[in-house]
Amino acid sequence: MKFYVKLLIKKSFMRIFFIFLILFLSLEAFVFSESKNMETLNLLEDAQVYHDMGSQENIYSILEKADLFVAPQKEFIDYCNLVDESVWIKFTLKNDTKHVINKVIGIDNILNETIELYEVQNRQVLKKQTTGMMHREEFAGIINFHLPISLQANTTHTYYLKVGNKQLSLWFKPLLYDPKSFLKEDSKKQLIWALFVGAILSLILYNLFLSIFTKDMIYLYYSAYLAATLMQNEFALYAKFYFFPMEDADFVKKDFNFSIFYINFLVQLTMSLFIRNFLQTKQYPKIDLSLKILIATILIYYILQTFFDLFALEVVILFLFITPYYFLWIGFYAFYKKNPQAKFFLIGWSFALLGWLTLFFQHMGIIPIRYIFSYTFESLIITESILFAIFLAYRIKNLEKKKNTLTHKLLEKQKNESKRLEVIVQQRTRELNKELKQNELLLKELHHRVKNNMQFITSLYALKLNENADTQMHEKLHDVERKIHAMSIVHQMLYKQKNLESINAKEYFEKVLESIKHSFELEHISFDLSINARLDVEEAIYCGLIVNELVTNAIKHAFDEKNGCIKISLNNDKDGILLEVSDNGKGLTLSDKASFGQMMVESLATEQLEGKLDIKVENGTKISLWFYNKIQKI
């Protein structure tokens, strides 16, 4: 009897043990004790999940389906369906301490649209919290989605976490943070965002300055590509939180559509323009034509999408997935054609392509690359940007090298050409000097012959004077003789000097007056000569004839054998020459009929010298002639 009683007690004890064991295993709770209060925990480690395709369930219907929850297979959630879907996560937190424990549930994907947290007890909802891209509150400096919870002392809490998306893939890692740890993590991400954005903006400004100073469009296109990349990345959301109303669900939807349907295509557009310039695809007509078609297609797409909203998300994703590979193929083709820039493009674009693929696969939920390294995309894009910046700088170096080479060749060519021209110039100078000397000799000989001919004519006039006893005729022949002699003096002076363009006017006028004095008895007449200018040959002849006529006329008619003075002056006056002949005689009598001498003076003054003649009769006669000086003009 005692044996059966012992056996019954043993079986009862085993049943109670297994019941407690099953209850313990089914509880699956995080237990916080005085010795175990971790700062960060992955909620999926001791939780159950339910994949809600179509997001049809609510909290009350999901409470009826507790048996459909299963243990997660991974440390994160990643679905790639691009449909309306949600995931429910059930977990329990237990506080075994004697004080309140505050925690924060963080969701690391800031593109998740709806996040709801329900606290449930005895199948009743005690509390509900909502966040997500479409349910944000006014921005308070925290970027990542967070749901604060408070665990009272010695209590157990059961939670249902719902995360859902309607279009994008559903991926995230739910973490339980200590509040300070969460703020630290969020600040770290914002700091990395600031560094990433600062680096890209620096490269943008650097390339813009290069574009301005080099006038090369390639730097402008690359700046536009970097700006489009910066706007496309999820880090652009960080800036939007600071500057735009991201708590407005309508604005968020419009911003999301703009990023998906416009910014992504802007990346392809700017990269197409950059490739055309970087690889100089004009040398490959078919490739260049395909890029032109691609650019035109994107521009047409913008118009159609703006006004008609024709394209679905799947079409956009397919296009964005194909074009980077097409750009890579162009790089390989250019490399095959021995394009010197192709190897640089392939290296840089390989990093960019890897970055875009990791971002694409991350958002599609295909590869959990985010949990291999949290900032893979940013690191690859920064690497690509730096490499292209180096390659573009290398391009400047090559252009500078080519410029220096061409400059050196040009200088050598100029130097050789200068030597050749110098030899030609020296040879031609010798020839010209020889010809000039010959011309000078010929010109001097010409002046000498002219002077001799004029002296011969003067001698003939002298013979005629001796034969003719008519006094009036004598006077006229003497006038002609003096005029001829005045002209011959010029040729005589030119024959004796090296300068054949101008003569010394003072010496010339002195010789003209000397010739006049030999023709008259001038004991009662004195001369005052003031000459301070040079005359060219033609001006000297005309002025000599004028002076000869005016002085001869004054000697004959001004004094009536009384004492008198004739003044002759020649001075520079502004841009011309002022010739003045005056006397203190009885004054010129102006008659209606001008004499031959007066007509000759007026003709020489106004027509030959193109000057201005002025006659004043006051205490004698003063005749002034102003004309432009050819020597001053030159």
Statement: residue 29 has pLDDT above 50? yes
Closest to 126 measured CA to CA, from 96, 98, 152, 97? 152
- Alpha-carbon Rg for the chain, nearest whole angstrom, is 55
Per DSSP bridges, beta strands 525-532 and 564-573 are: parallel
User: Which amino acid does the sequence have at 232?
Assistant: Q
Three-class secondary structure of residue 338 per DSSP: coil
CATH number assigned to the domain comprising residue 505: 3.30.565.10
pLDDT given for residue 31 in this prediction: 64
Of the three residues 406, 425, 456, the one that is the final residue of a domain is 406
Which two three-digit tokens encode residue 416? 């050789």
- Read off the CATH number of the domain in which 61 is found: 2.60.40.2380
pLDDT per residue over 102-116, tens digit each? 999 999 888 889 999
Please give the single-letter amino acid code of residue 160: Y
Question: What is d(CA 226, CA 232) in angstroms, rounded to the nearest whole number?
Answer: 10
Q: Is residue 127 part of a domain?
A: yes
Read off the pTM. Answer: 0.58
User: Which pair of structure tokens corresponds to residue 65?
Assistant: 């389906």
Structure tokens at 483: 């005029």
Of the candidates 614, 561, 611, which has an alpha carbon nearest to the alpha carbon of residue 586? 561
At residue 449, φ and ψ (nearest 5 deg) are: -65, -40
- Highest mean pLDDT (candidates 309-318, 320-329, 436-445): 320-329
Whether residue 127 is predicted with pLDDT greater than 50 in this model: the reply is yes
* C-beta separation of 50 from 70 below 8 A: yes
Q: What percent of the chain has pLDDT over 70?
A: 79
Per-residue pLDDT tens over the stretch 259-301: 888 888 999 999 999 999 999 999 999 999 999 999 999 999 9
Is residue 392 in some structural domain?
Answer: yes
- pLDDT computed for residue 249 by the predictor: 83
Q: Are residues 65 and 158 in the same domain?
A: yes
pLDDT in tens, 523-556: 788 889 998 888 887 888 788 888 888 888 888 8
pLDDT at 125 exceeding the cut of 80: yes
- For residue 40, the model assigns a pLDDT of 84
Answer yes or no: is pLDDT of 503 > 80: no
Residue 459 lies in a domain: no
Looking at residue 16, what is its pLDDT? 42
Q: Please name the amino acid found at residue 230.
A: L
- DSSP-derived secondary structure letter, 42: E
DSSP 1: -
Q: Fill in the DSSP letter of residue 281.
A: G
Helices 313-336, 264-278: axis angle to 10 degrees equals: 10
Backbone angles phi, psi at 217, to 5 degrees: -65, -20
- Of 149, 177, 205, which residue constitutes the final position of a domain? 177
Tell which wins on pLDDT, 178 or 355. Answer: 178
CA 25, 30, 35, 40 torsion-angle sign: positive
- Which string of b and e fits 220-251 if b means at least 16 CB within 10 Å? bbbbbbbbbbbbbbbbbbbebbeeeebeeeee
Tokens linked to 77: 């959630």
Torsions phi, psi for 586 (to 5 deg):
-75, -10
pLDDT digits (tens, 9 = 90+) for 315-356: 887 888 899 999 999 999 999 999 988 999 999 999 988 887
pLDDT digits (tens, 9 = 90+) for 56-93: 999 999 999 989 999 998 888 888 777 899 999 999 99
| Dihedral angle computed from the Cα positions of residues 366, 368, 374 and 375, in that order, rounded to the nearest 10 degrees | -30
Rounded CA separation 402/380 (Å):
32
Predicted confidence at residue 590, as pLDDT, reads 65
pLDDT of residue 2: 40
**Average pLDDT in the chain:** 81
Domain ends where: 177, 205, 222? 177
Same domain, 222 and 100: no
Q: What is the dihedral of CA 468, 470, 476, 480, to 10 degrees?
A: 10
pLDDT tens digits, 223-263: 999 999 888 766 677 888 888 888 888 888 888 888 888 88
Q: For 598-626, write each residue's pLDDT tens digit.
A: 888 888 888 888 889 888 888 889 999 99
Indicate if 235 and 112 belong to the same structural domain.
no
* In contact, 629 and 575? CB cutoff 8 Å: yes
Q: What is the pLDDT of residue 370?
A: 52
Statement to judge: residues 285 and 201 lie in one domain: yes
Q: Locate 166 and state its tokens.
A: 């309607």
Residues 548 and 612 in one domain: yes
User: Would residue 185 count as lying in a domain?
Assistant: no
Dihedral of alpha carbons 333, 336, 342, 345, sign: positive
152 lies in a domain? yes
Question: What integer pLDDT is reported at residue 569 of this predicted model?
Answer: 92
The number of domains in the chain is: 3
Give the pLDDT score at 175.
93
The packing angle between helices 537-557 and 471-496, to 10°, is 150
List Cα–Cα distances, 37 to 47, 100, 102, 159, 175, in angstroms.
Answer: 18, 12, 11, 19, 14
37 and 167 housed in the same domain: yes
| pLDDT score recorded for residue 13 | 43
- pLDDT band for 12, please (50, 70, 90 cuts): very low
270 domain-assigned: yes
Q: What is the DSSP string of 551-580?
A: HHHHHHHTSTTS-EEEEEEEEEETTEEEEE
79 contacts: CB under 8 Å, gap ≥ 6: 51, 85, 87, 169, 170, 171, 365
Residue of 158 and 313 predicted with greater confidence: 158
User: Is 273 in the same domain as 371?
Assistant: yes
User: By mean pLDDT, which of 3-7, 69-73, 434-438 is the weakest?
Assistant: 3-7
Structure tokens that stand for 12 in this block: 């009862």
Residues 226 and 268 in one domain: yes
Domain that holds residue 571: 501-634
pLDDT at 386: 87
Residue 395: is its pLDDT beyond 80?
no
CB 572 within 8 A of CB 531: no
Tell whether the torsion through CA atoms of 218, 220, 224 and 229 is positive or negative: positive
Q: Are residues 279 and 285 in contact, defined by beta-carbon separation less than 8 angstroms?
A: no
User: DSSP letter string over 109-163?
Assistant: -TT--EEEEEEEETTEEEEEEEESTTS--S--S--SEEEEEEE-TTEEEEEEEEE
Q: Is residue 37 part of a domain?
A: yes
Q: How confident is the model at residue 15 (pLDDT cuts 50, 70, 90)?
A: very low
Q: Is residue 495 part of a domain?
A: no
Higher-confidence position of 5 and 629? 629
More confident call, 481 vs 16: 481
242 shares its domain with 332: yes
| Same-domain pairing of 298 and 399 | yes
What is the DSSP code (8-state) at residue 357? H
Residue 189 and residue 132: Cα distance in Å, rounded? Answer: 18
User: Which whole number is the average pLDDT over 124-138?
Assistant: 90
At 14, the pLDDT band (50, 70, 90 cuts) reads: very low
Same domain, yes or no: 245 and 164: no
Q: In terms of domains, do 284 and 162 share one?
A: no
| pLDDT score recorded for residue 507 | 82
Q: What angle do CA 345, 347, 348 make, to 5 degrees?
A: 65
Statement: residue 584 has pLDDT above 80: yes
